[in-house]
Structure 1
């Protein structure tokens, strides 16, 4: 829950604090995305549109439960997922081109 700020500087300090936490979580999520590339057979497995929609449904439900704007959450997640898919496609292409041991 957001704290009540008494000036714009406090608002910005809290946003900066949250940005540090969000970026740390994005880095952690990205590490799992990199691991996922090892388990997927092809680019269709990477794109996994049905999984994307499962995630969107889940985060919209979380938004409602936590009092967040579900539309904003969905837009952020769709952009984030699209970026991670591009990362994973690149990593999958590298893994696919490596000789098998």
Structure 2
């Protein structure tokens, strides 16, 4: 739901609240990524290129459905997943 704002300060206030929610969701996603490392046998399983491509297709479709820009959504997910893969590789390595 988008609220019509009447000032730049109001826009920024809403963006700040969304950032808090987004970072909270990133933290939750990261916790699941950490758990996933335990179930993967090697670094190829961590990288999982087919799964990554499935995620990109899924989030582009969700972007269309929810009125977000599919290109922006995919770019954000590409950066986020690349960072999470690095996190998971480090955690997987530490488990070995």
Query: TM bucket by the smaller chain?
Result: over 0.9
Runs of 4+ in 1 over 4 A off after TM superposition: none
Q: Using the alignment, how far apart are the partners of 1:80 and 1:2 within structure 2?
A: 24
- Residue aligning to 1:61: 61
Shift of the alpha carbon at 1:2?
A: 1.3
Distance 2:10 2:46 in 1: 41
The reply on whether 1:80 has 2:70 as its aligned counterpart is no
Specify the alignment match of 1:45 in structure 2: 45
Taking the aligned partners of 1:66 and 1:26, their CA distance within structure 2 comes to 19
State the aligned residue count: 96
Structure 1 vs Structure 2 CA RMSD: 0.4
Q: Using the alignment, how far apart are the partners of 1:78 and 1:2 within structure 2?
A: 25
Give 1:30 deviation, angstroms: 0.2
Structure of larger gyration radius: 1
For residue 67 of structure 1, report the CA deviation from its aligned partner.
0.5
- Indicate the residue corresponding to 1:28 in structure 2: 28
Unaligned runs of at least 5 residues, structure 2: none
> Residue 99 of structure 1 corresponds to which residue in structure 2?
none
In the TM superposition, residue 41 of structure 1 has moved relative to its aligned partner by 0.3
Asked if residue 95 in structure 1 is aligned to residue 95 in structure 2, the reply is: yes
Give the TM-score normalised by structure 1.
0.94
State the partner residue of 2:9. 9
Inter-partner Cα distance in structure 2 for 1:4 and 1:89 = 43
